[in-house]
């Protein structure tokens, strides 16, 4: 790590001067002030991220319920052959969103390394809201497919932006819980969507599904405007919501978390390194496998419940407990991931167990009484937890702005791939055999994700040991990072200061300058597992 001194120029926004107004010099006082500041960051940013991510899920979940309220007939999304009704057109329309998403998600990851995060995100949320509300003017299957592609292009900005924001504002050991909180919005908004769409189903006129999209699009446009005016772009430019004392602490946190600094020029060599890194491909495959089960929960969820003999209103209402299961499981596993060090690769396989059990119950349990398959369906909804753990692993274990952008984009490409595959894994003609192909596919995918997580653990540990051995045999200033770190969650611990390590990632001491290098280039980098 470079030992060059920072410029003392006042123009250097990252220069930390303990003589700044209100800066707490005493380490104990500083730790208390920092803990209070983190709560303020949570209060300001997490609601924005949660609602934004939830609105994205609202659109997906609305598609699932809209087919119960006239969309299939209005847009000609069904085909009948030999007396059997097929939903291939609907599957293609659902997958079309992800065709647009997969094209744009990698460029979006790079865009957010060059432009202000909050303002750029608000722009894309606005575009997505406009496209969403335009769903109501579509009158044909072909037009709907095209509209879904453009919606995917716009919405692909949200996940890369929020992962970058999380890495920028929170230190690595703080991130899993925050990722879990805002990603749990998928469950919260699953419940919210069901409640709202029951209302539109009863009062939405002759085409209730259009009222659902009017509401979702309008809300998203309004929310984009709020994001623009409320969300700060960076800890170095936190805006009017923070005092001078808090700004000084934010600059210190920024220095201690250099690997969250995403606003750097795009470096081709980091892009090449990310592509050659086997971990990038494992992240991609895990993202795809985890999200293969999305079709059964989101895209076809209402239709599957409807096939058990419930009417449209009850089918929509019965999706609410599934949303609660998503929220609870994400929060539980995110809590343990932040509470205990180096257990994330173990937690991830554990988090897939409810999904596997749920698939087996829906597939094998009698459908009468219907309580059996409903419980199984709710267990399958726990698939959000392993995805959050995957994101936290990738963000904590990747350094270098361009490489981090490529790595997280690889996960989102996997997410999209899984969603595209899942759109074609529910076959209405398999109702008599309880959608057997769907559940077998999900079980295989969850087992693969579990094995891949354990493989990552092996890779992380092996590489950490290799680096320890190299540093032991070649003493250097960076060897101090080998010393075990303890009590990382203790707010009063003095390890937070110069030369400290965060989740195995060394911070910058006072007077050090950040260099945009990757985890492979930095011998002192330690992987968390």
Is the model's pLDDT at 180 over the cut of 70? Answer: yes
Is the model's pLDDT at 57 over the cut of 60? Answer: yes
pLDDT (average), residues 89-105: 87
Q: What is the dihedral of CA 479, 481, 485, 488, to 10 degrees?
A: 170
Higher-confidence position of 349 and 171: 349
Buried b (16+ CB within 10 A) or exposed e, 289-323: bbbbbbbbbbbbbbbbbbbbebebeebbbbbbbbb
Model pLDDT, residue 200: 83
Is the model's pLDDT at 408 over the cut of 90? Answer: no
Query: Average model confidence (pLDDT) for the chain?
Result: 81
The pLDDT tens digits for 288-331 are 999 888 766 776 777 788 778 787 788 888 888 888 898 899 88
The DSSP call for residue 234 is B
| Range from 184-188, 218-222, 256-260 carrying the lowest mean pLDDT | 256-260
The pLDDT tens digits for 344-357 are 999 999 999 999 99
Chain position carrying tokens 């890495």: 167
CB 362 within 8 A of CB 438: no
What is the β-pairing status of strands 505-506 and 501-502? antiparallel
Model pLDDT, residue 153: 92
pTM of the model as a whole: 0.74
| Range from 115-129, 181-195, 257-271, 422-436 carrying the lowest mean pLDDT | 257-271
pLDDT band (50, 70, 90) for residue 504:
very low
Integer Cα distance of 488 and 467 in angstroms: 22
CB 289 within 8 A of CB 446: yes
Neighbours of 215 (CB within 10 A): 19
Is the model's pLDDT at 7 over the cut of 60? Answer: no
Higher-confidence position of 66 and 450: 450
The pLDDT tens digits for 376-400 are 888 988 888 999 899 889 888 988 8
Model pLDDT, residue 475: 58
Distances (CA, A) of 103 to 60, 98, 106, 289, 425: 18, 8, 7, 19, 22
Model pLDDT, residue 20: 55
| Range from 145-159, 248-262, 447-461 carrying the lowest mean pLDDT | 248-262
Q: What tokens appear for 255 in the block?
A: 């220095």
CB 153 within 8 A of CB 20: no
Neighbours of 134 (CB within 10 A): 14
Beta bridge pairs of residue 152? none
Alpha helices in 204-277 (DSSP H): 208-230, 244-256, 268-276
3-state secondary structure of 86: strand
Chain position carrying tokens 């950040």: 514
pLDDT band (50, 70, 90) for residue 449:
very high
With CA atoms as reference, report the closest residue to 353 among 324, 323, 322, 329. Answer: 329
3-state secondary structure of 506: strand
């Amino acid at each position: 790590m470079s030992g060059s001194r920072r410029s003392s120029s006042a123009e250097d926004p990252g220069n930390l001067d303990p003589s700044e107004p209100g800066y707490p010099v005493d380490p104990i006082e500083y730790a208390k002030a920092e803990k209070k500041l983190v709560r303020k960051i949570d209060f300001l940013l997490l609601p924005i991220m949660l609602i934004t991510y939830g609105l994205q899920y609202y659109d997906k979940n609305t598609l699932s319920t809209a087919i119960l309220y006239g969309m299939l007939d209005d847009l000609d999304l069904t085909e009948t052959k030999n007396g059997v009704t097929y939903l291939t057109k609907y599957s293609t329309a659902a997958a079309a969103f992800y065709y647009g998403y997969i094209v744009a998600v990698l460029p979006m990851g790079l865009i957010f390394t060059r432009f202000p995060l909050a303002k750029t995100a608000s722009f894309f949320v606005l575009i997505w809201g406009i496209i969403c509300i335009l769903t109501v003017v579509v009158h044909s299957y072909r037009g709907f497919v095209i509209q879904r592609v453009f919606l995917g292009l716009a919405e692909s900005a949200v996940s890369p932006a929020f992962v970058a924001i999380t890495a920028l504002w929170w230190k690595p050991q703080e991130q899993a819980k925050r990722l879990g909180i805002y990603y749990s919005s998928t469950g919260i908004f699953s419940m919210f969507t069901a409640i709202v769409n029951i209302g539109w189903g009863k009062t939405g006129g002759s085409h209730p599904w259009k009222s659902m999209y009017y509401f979702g699009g309008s809300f998203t446009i309004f929310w984009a405007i709020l994001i623009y005016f409320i969300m700060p772009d960076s800890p170095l430019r936190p805006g009017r919501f923070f005092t001078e004392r808090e700004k000084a602490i934010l600059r210190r946190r920024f220095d201690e978390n250099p690997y969250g600094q995403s606003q750097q020029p795009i470096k081709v060599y980091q892009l090449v390194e990310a592509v050659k890194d086997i971990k990038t491909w494992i992240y991609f495959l895990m993202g795809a496998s985890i999200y293969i089960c999305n079709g059964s929960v989101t895209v076809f969820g209402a239709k599957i419940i409807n096939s058990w003999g419930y009417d449209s209103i009850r089918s929509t209402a019965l999706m609410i407990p599934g949303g609660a299961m998503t929220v609870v499981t994400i929060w539980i596993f995110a809590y343990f991931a932040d509470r205990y060090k180096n257990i994330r690769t173990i937690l991830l396989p554990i988090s897939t167990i409810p999904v596997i059990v749920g698939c087996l119950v829906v597939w094998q349990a009698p459908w009468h009484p219907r309580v059996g398959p409903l419980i199984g369906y709710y267990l399958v909804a726990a698939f959000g937890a392993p995805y959050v753990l995957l994101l936290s692993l990738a963000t904590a274990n990747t350094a270098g702005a361009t490489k981090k952008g490529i790595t997280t984009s690889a996960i989102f490409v996997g997410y999209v791939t899984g969603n595209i595959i899942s759109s074609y894994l529910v076959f209405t003609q398999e109702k008599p055999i309880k959608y057997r192909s769907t559940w077998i596919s999900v079980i295989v995918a969850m087992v693969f994700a579990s094995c891949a997580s354990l493989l990552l653990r092996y890779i992380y540990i092996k590489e950490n040991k290799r680096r320890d051995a190299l540093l032991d045999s070649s003493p250097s200033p960076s060897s101090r990072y080998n010393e075990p770190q303890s009590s990382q969650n203790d707010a009063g611990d003095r390890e937070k200061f110069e030369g400290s390590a965060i989740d195995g990632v060394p911070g910058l001491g006072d007077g050090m300058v950040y260099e945009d290098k990757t985890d492979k280039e930095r011998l002192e980098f330690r992987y968390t597992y």
